Amino acid sequence: MAEDPLKPAPARVFLAIPLHGIFHQEIENLLGPLRREIPGVRWVESRQVHLTLHFFGIVSPQEIELIHLSSKKIASLFSPLKVSLGQIGGFPDLERPEIVWLGVREPTGQLLSLQKAIQGEVRTLGFKPEARPFQPHVTIGRVQRKSRDLKPLLAKAGYAWTTTEKIADHFALYQSHYLPEGVRYEILKTYPFSKKA
């Protein structure tokens, strides 16, 4: 029997802070030279840049609604965050990277508190919490040629790079779409930080 096209389908979702809106020009200024100087890396589009807070994987429409309600509650407990982007790094490292990332800094500890609050809700909802320690970062590139030391090339491109602090005033529920040209991320819902200072 064919599936009902009107029935909501499961989706691959995650919670993240969108950073393209507040750091668009800075990220473009960084990625332009990297795209020219370092081939063999699929550099992201600046509008796709985000700081992941929790990845759920594929969930049902009913579970998405529970995530939505929990996220609204969490957002009401936090004030907007002052964040900056920092030095470039790699996973597992820049000598043999698979992922190239930018570190995210938030000096007060509220970003870590936000991530911990989300992990608490994740556990309460019956999802598996993140096992790895939280390392705030945004992915800016996926290496297509493995076992390649990027340190010399990044040094040439000037990778000791930071931004000024800017205000992140919400986080969002994203859906991942896997397309032939790569992954695209769609914001489904946003959650403004609404705690009064």
Decide if pLDDT at 82 tops 70.
yes
* In the predicted structure, residue 86 carries a pLDDT above the cut 90: no
Mean pLDDT for 129-153 is: 85
Lowest-pLDDT range, 58-67, 76-85, 149-158, 188-197? Answer: 149-158
Query: What amino acid is encoded at 171 in this protein?
Result: F
Domains, the chain, in order of start with CATH, read: 11-192 (3.90.1140.10)
* pLDDT at 1 > cutoff 50: no
Confidence of residue 197 (pLDDT cuts 50, 70, 90): low
pLDDT score of 159 more than 70: no
β-bridge pairing 41-43 and 137-143:
antiparallel
- Whether the pLDDT of residue 158 is over 90: the answer is no
Q: Residue 180 — pLDDT band, cuts 50, 70, 90? A: confident
The catalytic residue positions are: 50, 137
pLDDT digits (tens, 9 = 90+) for 18-31: 999 999 999 998 88
- Specify whether the CB–CB gap between 76 and 60 falls below 8 A: no
Taking the chain, what is the end-to-end CA distance rounded to the nearest angstrom? 55
**What is the rounded CA–CA span in Å between residue 136 and residue 75?**
18
pLDDT tier at 169, thresholds 50, 70, 90: very high
